[in-house]
Chain A
Amino acid sequence: MNRDLTQTVARIAGVNPRACMRCGKCTGACPAYDEMEYHPHQFVSMVETGRIDELLRSKGIYTCLSCFACIERCPRQVEPARLIEAVRVLAERKQGADHLRPQDIPARLDPDMPQQAITSALRKYRR
């Protein structure tokens, strides 16, 4: 239980996890469901109940596709993707916690890959 972190995450995300009514539409809509350790509705509940340390350790924060389907379809304006990003940002702000290192990139490139792939990956996965 970490109430301070809950507030920090809610503040960074700009949404209120308490507004969630546990309908599960986010999880029904999520295209990355199979890859996610914690599913969007669980994520909201874990933020609300202060289980942020578990989330910070989870690989799941990097599997959100940022497709905004849960934001669009959430009937309560809880917008799980914003909470997921807030936790990811918290994790990445710790020194040495980058999910993607620049030196790893060349090995993953192919000749057709657009620049956009690299800029957005760096923006998403590294401080």
Chain B
Amino acid sequence: MVFSYFPGCTLKNKGARLDLCGRRAAEALGFTLEELPEWQCCGGVYPQARDEIATRLSSVRALDAARRKGQSLVTLCSACHHVIRRVNGDMQRDAQIRGAVNRYLQLDTPYEGQTQVLHYLEVLRDVIGFDELARRVTRPLTGQRIGAYYGCLLLRPSREMCFDDPENPTILEQFIRAIGAEPVYYAMRNECCGGYTVLEPGGRAQKQAGKVLANAAACGAQTLITACPLCMYNLQKSVGGELPVRYFTELLAQALGLEVES
């Protein structure tokens, strides 16, 4: 199984190890992530304004490249996933945006949202299967109480993301069970950590993250996992090390018994 892969800015730089964990785990589980050549940054923020065309182009280029290879497009970062999935939806449903983008790009065949966009977690759930993943685990994280932190970008708006139940999601909890740990439910797992405002003065992002962490800790979580590098950074900054915040691919690689150098 080969997928086109869009790593995104952070996983290529500061988050290179998270990316490596993801790729190694993929190989171990029998699928390959083939990095798109010359991919461009998705911008990290989905442009909600319907008359914004330029900010959608990099996503469409990636989607079109995957289409030409006849592959589904996999992302590992929630922000990339969010932006590319929603732009793909625009290309499927919004004739105004589709027309403007295609007029600009002048592709051989106009792009109309044909590519399937998958998050790495969806590959685990829908292609590999969590039962199969559980069978492949060699070093289960037995006894660990892990809280899933979904944040915003994977889930909302559910009408466009179609990823999981936006108010009571289950995919990360299934993942936690598959790697042998015990999921801890806490209400703030789908509330915002404020990550988009880490550069804003006034410590707003950390205050917001603090609420998430307090709720998770009060509900008994010993570790948090997330699928977004920005959330991970923001939560780690706020927590001061008491509650470890890990990327889900790190724990995946660990549970599969893979040694990944830093």
Contacts and interface: CB of A to CB of B under 8 A. Distances in A.
B199 A100 contact: yes
Contacts of B12: 115
Interface stretch (B45-53, B115-123, B249-257): B45-53
Contact of A69 (B50, B152, B230): B152
Contacts of B200: 62, 121
B9 A119 contact: yes
Contact of B158 (A72, A81, A108, A112): A72
A82 B160 CA distance: 14
A68 interface: yes
Contacts of A115: 9-10, 12-14
A78 interface: no
B207 to A, nearest CB: 9
Interface stretch (A11-19, A41-49, A50-58): A11-19
Q: Is the interface of B mostly helix, strand, loop or mixed?
A: loop
B9 A86 contact: no
B156 A118 contact: no
Interface of A: 11-14, 31-32, 35, 62-63, 65-69, 71-72, 79, 81-82, 85-86, 89, 100, 105, 108, 112-121, 123-124
Nearest to B166: A72
Given A68-B157, A117-B230, 15 more contacts: A13-B48, A31-B208, A32-B208, A65-B194, A65-B196, A67-B156, A67-B191, A69-B191, A79-B157, A86-B48, A89-B49, A114-B229, A119-B41, A123-B44, A124-B196
Nearest to A9: B49
Given A35-B204, A82-B48, A114-B15, A71 B43 contact: no
A106 to B, nearest CB: 11
Contact of B48 (A31, A32, A81, A117): A81
B128 interface: no
Contacts of B147: none
Contacts of A68: 152, 156-157
Nearest to B204: A35
Nearest to A87: B49
Q: Which of the listed residues A66, A81, A82 has the most CB atoms from chain B within 10 Å of its own CB?
A: A66
Nearest to A114: B10
A123 B52 CA distance: 11
B80 to A, nearest CB: 9
B179 to A, nearest CB: 24
B8 interface: yes
A119 B167 CA distance: 28
B163 to A, nearest CB: 12
B141 interface: no
A119 B192 contact: no
Contacts of B10: 114-116
Interface string B1-33: 000000011101111000000000000000000
A2 to B, nearest CB: 18
